[in-house]
Amino acid sequence: LPTVAIVGRPNVGKSTLFNRLVGKKLALVDDRPGVTRDRREGDVGFGGLAFRIIDTAGLEEADSESLLGRMRLQTEAAILEADVVLFVIDARVGVLPADRPFAEMVRRAGCPVILIANKAEGGAGMAGAYEAFSLGLGDPIPFSAEHGEGLGELHSALQEALPEADEDADGEGADKALKVAIVGRPNAGKSTLINRMIGQDRLLVGPEAGITRDSISLDWEWRGRRIRLHDTAGMRRRARIDDKLEKLAVSDGLRAVRFAEVVVVLLDATIPFEKQDLTIIDLVESEGRAVVIGLNKWDLVADQPGLLKELREDCTRLLPQVRGVAVVPLSGLAGEGIDKLMQAVVAASEVWSRRVSTSRINDWLSDALSRNPPPAVAGRRIKIRYATQVKTRPPHFALFGNQLNALPKSYTRYLVNALRESFDLPGTPIRLSLRTSE
């Protein structure tokens, strides 16, 4: 489900809005210390729209001196996860200085924002609603969470702002085609492999009218699973005609990578790990796709066990950013190893989509921190308080705490590697965001 976060300073009516949308009072979902304690979440069905909603209002009851700091962390966490933010102000009191830091966070995050001027029942608080323009978050919706006014306008705004259902990452159905691209240097054997996978059908089907050559995708089924293959082969032919092979190979590769969930980087096993191969893998990593490495032309290799061992070591050394990536020997020409390749592709897509629960991550975090505490920088202790997985596809984690901007690269690398190990996330890019409250 897409995620909507309710954000705003204390007392603007976030809880009331939350309860209005969720339709019942929910208990706090987590009793762990730290940020999650204060969070409420619920699933909302709202006139045909379905989303998960996060509320930061639990904090308002926590009357501690660290309230604002925690509130800020909490809000950052919610915004990071959100596809859409509902930013709430109190229309009756107008815009207060306390609203501004929250508005600033929302603006920085750059995700769609719906501005709600709450407590405006019966036309009250119009002046406050006008003031709300000054926040730079767009037109406010006059609203009353308590009386249920403004719901129609909120519904249309949400309808516009929420991602399309079929683009929604987490709600992926089992029957949805898995999008796979096969990329690699010219002559790595991409066309041969794709032809072998698809069989003769493809020759009969051909590019359909209305589909440009650049965006040919081929639907295929592997063991009852729908696979949509991006056909880079068609483009290669065009590239030959244009005689700008190198340049096109790169931009075609980029298009294929963006199309795909899992990218098979096909190497020619007789000349593996050329510079261009590494460039392609970097591209796949920076686009955040799951990776599988295919060692094609395996039929031409004399010492197969020896070479496989060597190439796996090369991978560990050359590709730390996708550590543990599957390396599958195959021959497109002989049709060997394709099953193994596809098993690795499906496994990679599962890893890429994996969600780890917040409680497991925080158990892991306290363990990782005690085993190897973060260094003190300029005499000040860096404090990591809490971690959560904010997105999948690829796995994206966030750390919350103090002085995190001072964390050395080596330490964040340690954490990423430990996350990869502990939660079994081989071969996928892993993203880590740092949210620091000081």
Binding site feature residues for GTP: 8-15, 55-59, 118-121, 184-191, 231-235, 296-299
- List 146, 172, 299, 421, residue binding ligand GDP (CB under 6 A): 299
Whether the bond into 429 is cis, omega within 30 of 0: no
Long-range contacts of 244-249 (CB under 8 A, 24+ apart): 245/186, 249/185, 249/186
Q: Which is nearer to ligand GDP, 215 or 357 (CB)?
A: 215
The answer to whether 187 contacts ligand GDP (rule: CB under 6 A) is: yes
The answer to whether 15 contacts ligand GDP (rule: CB under 6 A) is: no
The answer to whether 300 contacts ligand GDP (rule: CB under 6 A) is: yes
Query: Segment contacting ligand GDP (CB under 6 A): 12-20, 106-114, 180-188, 359-367?
Result: 180-188
Query: Segment contacting ligand GDP (CB under 6 A): 82-90, 118-126, 329-337, 340-348?
Result: 329-337
Query: Segment contacting ligand GDP (CB under 6 A): 4-12, 22-30, 328-336, 402-410?
Result: 328-336
The answer to whether 295 contacts ligand GDP (rule: CB under 6 A) is: no
For the beta sheet containing 396-402, the strands, ordered from the edge strand earlier in sequence to the opposite edge, are 383-391, 396-402, 431-436
**How far are the Cα atoms of 108, 236, 257, 323, 429 from residue 263, in angstroms, in the given order?**
31, 17, 6, 15, 12
Contact mark string toward ligand GDP, 134..153, x via CB under 6 A = --------------------
- List 188, 197, 260, 356, residue binding ligand GDP (CB under 6 A): 188
Q: Which is nearer to ligand GDP, 215 or 316 (CB)?
A: 215
The answer to whether 186 contacts ligand GDP (rule: CB under 6 A) is: yes
For 97, how many CA atoms within 13 A lie in the half-sphere containing its CB?
Answer: 0
Please report, as residue ranges, which positions from 223 to 242 form the binding site for ligand GDP (by CB under 6 A). 233, 236
Smallest distance from ligand GDP to CB 343, Å: 18
- Token pair belonging to 280: 């392609």
Rounded CA gap, 176 and 239, in Å?
A: 31
Smallest distance from ligand GDP to CB 229, Å: 13
CB 249 within 8 A of CB 186: yes
Smallest distance from ligand GDP to CB 194, Å: 8
Q: Cα 227 to the chain's mean position, in Å?
A: 21
The answer to whether 28 contacts ligand GDP (rule: CB under 6 A) is: no
CB atoms within 10 A of CB 113: 24
Q: Where are the alpha helices (DSSP H) in 133-244?
A: 151-161, 190-198, 201-205, 233-242
Q: Where are the alpha helices (DSSP H) in 319-423?
A: 338-352, 358-371, 409-422
- The CA-based dihedral angle spanning residues 44, 45, 50, 55, taken in that order and rounded to the nearest 10 degrees: -20
Smallest distance from ligand GDP to CB 207, Å: 16
- List 1, 29, 248, 333, residue binding ligand GDP (CB under 6 A): 333
The answer to whether 190 contacts ligand GDP (rule: CB under 6 A) is: yes
- Proportion of the chain in helix, strand, coil states, percent, rounded to 5: 45, 25, 35
CB atoms within 10 A of CB 226: 14
Number of chain residues interacting with ligand GDP (CB under 6 A): 17
Q: Which is nearer to ligand GDP, 61 or 242 (CB)?
A: 242
The answer to whether 184 contacts ligand GDP (rule: CB under 6 A) is: yes
For 25, how many CA atoms within 13 A lie in the half-sphere containing its CB?
Answer: 3
Rounded CA gap, 58 and 224, in Å?
A: 46
Query: Segment contacting ligand GDP (CB under 6 A): 62-70, 185-193, 386-394, 419-427?
Result: 185-193
Q: Which is nearer to ligand GDP, 189 or 427 (CB)?
A: 189
Q: β-strands 290-296, 383-391: how paired?
A: unpaired
The answer to whether 337 contacts ligand GDP (rule: CB under 6 A) is: no
The answer to whether 340 contacts ligand GDP (rule: CB under 6 A) is: no
- List 289, 297, 391, 393, residue binding ligand GDP (CB under 6 A): 297
Secondary structure class of 56 (helix, strand, coil): coil
The answer to whether 253 contacts ligand GDP (rule: CB under 6 A) is: no
* Chain contacts with ligand GDP (rule: CB under 6 A): 184, 186-192, 233, 236, 296-297, 299-300, 331-333
